[in-house]
Amino acid sequence: MWYVTAGAGEIWRSQDGRAEVTLLEPGTCLTIPLGTTFQFRAGTQELRVIAVTVPLWPVDSPDEARFETGRW
């Protein structure tokens, strides 16, 4: 889960042939399900986000995250 506390930006998410861009502004809350390709970027203001992973992010797994071609 991501919760935006300050600033502004956008996040692009893609999964199973469906893609969307969501505006990020204070109070925005969203999820990034397992297997989702995503990119985010800040606007002209500093972007601050609280991110929570459930279950705990497996830091000892080098294959957990990977670079993908995305919107930006």
More confident residue, 63 or 14: 14
Q: Which whole-number Å values give the CA distances from 46 to 9, 22, 37, 38, 68, in the listed order?
A: 9, 17, 23, 19, 24
More confident residue, 28 or 70: 28
- To the nearest whole number, what is the mean pLDDT of the chain? 91
pLDDT digits (tens, 9 = 90+) for 8-18: 999 999 999 99
Could you state, in order of their start, the residue ranges of all structural domains in the chain?
1-72
Q: pLDDT class for 34, splitting at 50, 70, 90?
A: confident
| Largest pairwise CA distance in the chain | 35
**Stretch 5-27: mean pLDDT:** 96
**Stretch 40-57: mean pLDDT:** 90
